[in-house]
Amino acid sequence: MARILFLHGLHGSPQGTKVQLLCSAGHDVCAPSLPKESIAQSLLIAETAFLEFDPKIVVGSSRGGALALSMSNAPITPMVLLAPAWVLYAPFPRLNDSTILLHSRDDEVIPFHESERLLRSHGLPPENLRAVGSEHSLNDQEVAEALLDAVSASD
């Protein structure tokens, strides 16, 4: 099983359903608490957790996905990003060829086309983006299965 750094979204938590799912699948998950008030403080916490935990995969949800794209060490680590809010929080995103995006076509917060644009801007194939779920929080069974599949593919 994989060592995963999980970066939660603005309205998520380190004990949320996605973290529980990854833990119940046997993964070793580090999920730091990221303050809503400061993206800079959240980025510092994420980078510190990365250095201390030495994950094999970074999973980021919404704002957490933007943090993953902003981390100085992100380009060398496989990432699975769920509806990454890069347009709001990561003006200079960095990703690598192994990055997988999960995003709902019906996302009411971060439009699906922003994930398409992110991949195009980095020269990644459309297959790295998987349309799943029915809304931004991506909390349904289809997403759970896609998340576990993406983590397995990245490991």
Query: CA 77 to CA 24: how far, in whole Å?
Result: 23
Give the pairing type, strands 28-30 and 57-61.
unpaired
pTM here is 0.96
pLDDT for 106 = 96
Question: Which pLDDT belongs to residue 74?
Answer: 62
Residue 75: per-residue pLDDT: 62
Measure the CA–CA gap between 148 and 134, rounded to whole angstroms. 18
Domains, the chain: 3-154 (3.40.50.1820)
Check pLDDT > 70 for residue 101. yes
- Model pLDDT for residues 41-89, shown as the tens digit of each residue: 999 999 999 999 999 999 999 999 999 999 987 668 999 999 999 999 9
